[in-house]
């Protein structure tokens, strides 16, 4: 992975997190932001997956597991 690919992946994750934040706000305003709501649980599961992806990307970056730009 090059630094450009890393940046692209981070931007994609951030865009997905923004979408999740908007959806979560809508669910919260409707009073359905609780673990018993399937949509809320699905969104929180997706958010957790994104957090894990970001952690792996950052770990790879810190460990120097990046390919030089070609």
Closest CA to 20 of 48, 62, 61, 54: 48
pLDDT for position 3: 84
pLDDT tier at 66, thresholds 50, 70, 90: low
pLDDT tens for residues 5-64? 899 999 999 999 999 999 999 999 999 998 899 999 999 999 999 999 999 999 988 887
Q: Report the pLDDT value the prediction gives residue 38, as an integer from 0 to 100.
A: 93
Q: What integer pLDDT is reported at residue 43 of this predicted model?
A: 95
The structural domains of the chain, with segments of one domain joined by +, span 3-63
- Write out the two tokens for 32: 């359905």
Distances (CA, A) of 34 to 22, 64, 67: 16, 40, 42
pLDDT at 65 exceeding the cut of 90: no
């Amino acid at each position: 992975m090059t630094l450009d690919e890393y940046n692209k992946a981070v931007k994609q994750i951030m865009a997905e997190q923004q979408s999740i934040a908007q959806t979560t706000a809508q669910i919260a305003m409707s009073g359905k932001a609780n673990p018993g709501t399937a949509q809320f649980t699905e969104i929180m599961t997706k958010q957790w997956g994104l957090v894990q992806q970001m952690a792996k990307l950052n770990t790879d970056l810190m460990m120097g597991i990046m390919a030089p730009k070609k």
